[in-house]
């Protein structure tokens, strides 16, 4: 009986030592446990500079968790959003931006967060006009471009004097051109397949929504060709008058601008 009790006592001690050892190891495993907010932030920034965004995010999250109040926590939230953006994680980046805007609606750097929100979705649409391969253009969703435009517009409207506003305006101009071109590509797609009404309507949408975009020249021309194909002579002539007046030296009709007269291939 004594021997059995001794064995149980040894086993219990071993268990305690084992658990204690695990606890000690866990504490030693986290080298940041005693770091100040300033050091956590500095280390995170160093990781960002080295391109180690995942590690930087871990430090920023620890900083915010341990020191939730004050400027370091707010800065960590902004840097986290930027790190996710640089890491290519659009969903997490947008979530971090939206969280910051909700928590700090009057923050001095709110203009930057609106700008960052625009950048995150702007990157998504860079391939919008890169029609390479066999993917059908109507499968490409321009939603990212619209979201990016709205974000930049909010920045420009609320913070017209922000240092980010000039770049935002340039990107908005690009996005308008891209969205108009997307509609023209879709209109051309419809025309090639004989869906002339759909082609004319989509071209009209581009003209109505983006009247100053360069793509309007082709949009008007598609309307002329579509109405002509449907035998709508009055609408065709009206569109032709506008086209000729607006673009008297257009090279699209002659095929010079695009090399080959694409509208003749499928007729």
SS3 at position 25: helix
Cα–Cα dist 4/11, whole Å: 11
Contact indicator for 73, 64 with CB cutoff of 8 Å = yes
SS3 at position 36: coil
pLDDT for the residue numbered 128: 42
pLDDT for the residue numbered 124: 59
pLDDT for the residue numbered 259: 38
pLDDT for the residue numbered 16: 43
Mean pLDDT of 244-253: 88
* Residue in this structure with the two tokens 């700008």, named with its chain if needed: 115
pLDDT for the residue numbered 2: 53
The token pair at 49 is: 């500079």
By CB atoms closer than 10 A (0-12, 13-18, 19+), residue 108 is exposed
Contact indicator for 266, 192 with CB cutoff of 8 Å = yes
pLDDT, averaged across the chain: 83
* Residue-range domains of the chain with CATH: 33-104 (1.25.40.10)
Mean pLDDT of 139-160: 87
Give the pLDDT band of residue 101 (cuts 50, 70, 90): very high
Contact indicator for 238, 229 with CB cutoff of 8 Å = no
pLDDT for the residue numbered 29: 64
pLDDT for the residue numbered 145: 86
Contact indicator for 191, 226 with CB cutoff of 8 Å = yes
User: When comparing pLDDT for 72 and 133, which is higher?
Assistant: 72
| Least reliable range by pLDDT among 33-47, 133-147, 204-218, 222-236 | 133-147
Cα–Cα dist 64/77, whole Å: 8
By CB atoms closer than 10 A (0-12, 13-18, 19+), residue 45 is middle
Q: What is the pLDDT of residues 20-71, one digit of tens each?
A: 444 433 345 678 888 999 999 999 999 999 999 999 999 999 999 999 988 9
By CB atoms closer than 10 A (0-12, 13-18, 19+), residue 66 is middle
SS3 at position 93: helix
């Amino acid at each position: 009986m004594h021997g059995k009790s001794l064995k149980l006592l040894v086993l219990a001690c071993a268990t305690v030592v084992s658990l204690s050892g695990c606890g000690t190891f866990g504490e030693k495993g986290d080298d940041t446990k005693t770091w100040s907010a300033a050091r956590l932030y500095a280390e995170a920034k160093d990781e960002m500079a080295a391109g180690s965004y995942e590690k930087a995010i871990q430090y920023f999250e620890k900083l915010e968790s341990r020191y939730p109040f004050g400027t370091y926590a707010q800065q960590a939230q902004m840097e986290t959003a930027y790190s996710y953006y640089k890491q290519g994680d659009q969903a997490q980046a947008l979530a971090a931006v939206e969280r910051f805007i909700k928590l700090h609606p009057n923050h001095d750097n709110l203009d930057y967060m609106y700008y960052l929100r625009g950048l995150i979705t702007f990157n998504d649409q860079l391939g919008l006009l890169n029609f390479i391969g066999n993917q059908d253009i109507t499968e490409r969703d321009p939603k990212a471009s619209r979201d990016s435009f709205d974000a930049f517009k909010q920045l420009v409207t609320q913070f017209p004097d922000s240092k980010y506003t000039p770049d935002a305006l340039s990107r908005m101009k690009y996005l308008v051109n891209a969205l108009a071109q997307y509609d023209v590509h879709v209109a051309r797609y419809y025309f090639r397949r004989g869906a002339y009404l759909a082609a004319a309507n989509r071209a009209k949408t581009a003209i109505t929504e983006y009247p100053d975009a360069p793509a309007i020249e082709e949009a008007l021309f598609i309307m002329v060709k579509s109405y002509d194909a449907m035998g709508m002579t009055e609408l065709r002539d009206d569109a032709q008058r506008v086209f000729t007046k607006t673009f008297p030296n257009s090279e699209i009709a002659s095929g010079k601008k695009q090399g080959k007269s694409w509208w003749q291939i499928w007729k």
